[in-house]
Amino acid sequence: MIKLRDVSKTFPDGTRAVDDVSISIPAGKTLCLIGTSGCGKTTTLKMINRLIEPTGGSILINGTDVTRLDPIKLRRNIGYVVQRGSLFPHMRVYDNLALLPRRMDWSEKRIEGRIDELLELIRMSREEFGSRFPDELSGGQQQRVGVARALIVDPSIILLDEPFGALDPITRADLQDEFLRLKHELNKTMAFVTHDLSEAFKLGDLVALMDFGKIVQCASPSELLSNPASEFVSDFLKSHGTGENVCNLTAGDIMVSDPLVLNLDSSGAVDLSKERRIELSEILHQRSQHVIFVVDETRRLKGMLTRKDVSDGTLEFREAPMPACSQDPISELIDRMLQNRIASYPVVDIDGVLSGAVTRQRVTAILGRDPSGVVADPERSGPDR
């Protein structure tokens, strides 16, 4: 967990860039910092790894004040990603990735194994890309390598400063989907600076809106939209294409990133014994969810179970509807939810990997009202799911 308590930063010229910021990032979650230019979001990010020293307050990582740690050791245990990957232009991809492990006296065998593992994770083989220089890569490939370099020593925390800001829209959308996949696989705690509200909504579990060095509101994307804390927040959302025009948002903007899932066993089945169904029923109730998605070992969608399926004692999972992709508009998702009478609609990435779900609750929260007739009530009898 990262916790900032009354953190401030005043530069020598008297500029108070960050003004008593208090915020927490739970372990395994992503916080997106957003706001107008000069609002203090990048300064806040850089104080976490002490690239900028705070003037006041405290920054705690898992309960330890970062100012009590050696800054070099601190930074080696925090991944850091910036625009264009910031790769050393005179070094090949392999050597860019090997730089930090070599300074930490890793064996070459261990380094080679870790680089192979990470290049496979970002879908760039060492055979094809390891000997290339950065200027022989596309912008998207450079950024992928930058992410891999941030992960090289397996830090629990990753800081990202507008990592996709310099990319074209198509590459940016592709890397956002890639980021979501890695987020699910790696379970890192991340702080992500962006100027793009739709990106913040798509990637963040929490979104913190800053203005003049202060946190104006920090909440989930749906909470920001349904309950803006001030007129400034409301105006900011509207000016960035949301608020009154929420139906222009996409599935990726509003989906929950942690839907309930069940994994297939080696025989292609799921455990639906009486004891397991009781457990699943309790989990569904506690999480206020109505659907459990069935996935294989690579998290590809294979089917689903509804709350009614579980309570009725069904012994087989059912086929899921044709999943949405993250770029599908809300209006289209609402139509699909109505047609399939489903209270939680699956969203997959370009490889068919489950990345989230658009839920009835979130649609209702974002629209600010229950879209009457749009999504069937999941609690009533009949075919509702």
Domain residue limits, the chain: 2-246, 261-367
What CA–CA distance (Å, rounded) separates 113 from 69? 30
The closest alpha carbon to 330, from 256, 251, 252, belongs to 251
CB 106 within 8 A of CB 100: no
pLDDT at 370 (0 to 100):
43
Structure tokens at 27: 């372990």
Structure tokens at 94: 């392999």
How many of the other CB atoms lie within 10 Å of CB of 158?
22
CB 326 within 8 A of CB 255: yes
CB 328 within 8 A of CB 320: no
What CA–CA distance (Å, rounded) separates 298 from 368? 36
Helix, strand, coil in percent for the chain, rounding step 5: 40, 25, 35
pLDDT at 293 (0 to 100):
92
Whole-model pTM: value is: 0.64
pLDDT at 244 (0 to 100):
43
The CATH number fitting domain 261-367, selected from 3.40.50.920, 3.30.465.10, 3.10.580.10, 2.40.50.1020:
3.10.580.10
What CA–CA distance (Å, rounded) separates 4 from 22? 5
pLDDT at 366 (0 to 100):
61
pLDDT at 85 (0 to 100):
64
pLDDT at 83 (0 to 100):
78
DSSP 67: G
CB 293 within 8 A of CB 320: yes
How many of the other CB atoms lie within 10 Å of CB of 61?
20
CB 340 within 8 A of CB 324: no
Task: Going residue by residue through the chain, which has 385 residues, state the pLDDT in tens, using 9 for 90 and above.
Answer: 999 999 999 999 999 999 999 999 999 999 999 998 889 999 999 999 999 999 999 999 999 999 999 999 999 889 999 876 688 999 999 999 999 999 999 999 999 999 999 998 888 888 999 999 999 998 888 988 999 999 999 999 999 998 887 777 667 777 888 888 888 888 899 999 998 888 888 889 999 999 999 999 999 887 887 788 998 998 888 777 554 445 557 888 788 888 889 888 878 778 888 888 888 888 888 777 789 999 998 999 999 988 888 888 777 888 888 999 988 888 778 878 877 888 889 999 888 899 999 888 777 666 544 444 433 333 333 333 3
The closest alpha carbon to 194, from 42, 27, 38, belongs to 42
What CA–CA distance (Å, rounded) separates 197 from 365? 18
Length of the chain: 385
CATH of domain 2-246: 3.40.50.300
The closest alpha carbon to 192, from 180, 203, 176, 178, belongs to 203
Q: Is 170 exposed, middle or buried (0-12, 13-18, 19+ CB in 10 A)?
A: exposed
